[in-house]
Amino acid sequence: MGLPDTAKVVGTVGRLAAQKAPQDLVAAIEAMGRPDVYCVWVGDGPLREDVKRLIERRKLTKQFLLLGERSDVAALLPGFDIFALASHYEGLPCSVVEAMTCGVPVTATAVNAVPEVVVPGRTGLLVPPGAPALLGKAISYLMDHPSEGARMALAARVHIGNRFDPEILGRDLSETYQLALTDSVRPVRKALRLVA
């Protein structure tokens, strides 16, 4: 990523879109007031130019890297000291699970399915959506207490286990489709018997 070896890196992966609240992450980094913290955003989207202008207006250009779309996300994640998710809404974000799998401490917004994997104080830290100052405080806490972050990261890896392994997810999805197909075929067969 071309950052100094001593850099403290907050990173995220996602589209630069309203759902992901990139402006909130910019505001969180600004609220921290820590020039030693760098923020890396991996991903692109319709808000890229707006976010870039916001970073410039807030005089944070030396602290922000907008990396755009990348195919080497798995190689970049271990370079993050903290993974931050500022989203206003989510399903279950793959990026959070991937960060946890890599042993990166997570702070995220408590939206939708996120609290299923980010258990406050156990596997990461949660803040309300739309509260960038609180997100900044959570990030600062993990930066200032690396042993706590490491403890949560380890607990997160145990918590998610292999539930999100591609083979297991694929098998579960296949079984779900098979059940759905079986259940939908039964009424058709019954109707055909009645007609015959």
Q: What is the pLDDT of residue 100?
A: 95
CB 40 within 8 A of CB 76: yes
Same domain membership, residue 190 and residue 124: no
Mean pLDDT to the nearest integer, 83-98: 93
Q: Do residues 108 and 174 share a domain?
A: no
1, part of any domain: no
Q: 176 with 92, same domain?
A: no
**Kind and range of the H or E run holding 83:** strand 82-85
Q: What is the pLDDT of residue 193?
A: 58
Domain count, the chain: 2
Q: Does residue 142 sit in the same domain as residue 179?
A: no
Residue 123 lies inside a defined structural domain of this protein: yes
pLDDT of amino acid 186? 58
Q: What is the mean pLDDT of the chain?
A: 90
**20 plus 116 within the same structural domain:** yes
CATH number of the CATH domain containing 153: 3.40.50.2000
Give the other-Cβ count within 10 Å of 141's Cβ: 15
Let me know if residue 31 belongs to a domain. Answer: yes
Q: Which residues, listed in sequence order, are joined to residue 65 by a DSSP beta bridge?
A: 40
| 109 and 13 within one domain | yes
pLDDT at 182: 73
Residue whose pair of structure tokens reads 């949660």 in the numeric block: 126
Range of the domain at 181: 165-196
Residues 6+ apart with CB under 8 A from 105: 81, 82, 83, 124, 142, 149, 150, 152, 153, 156
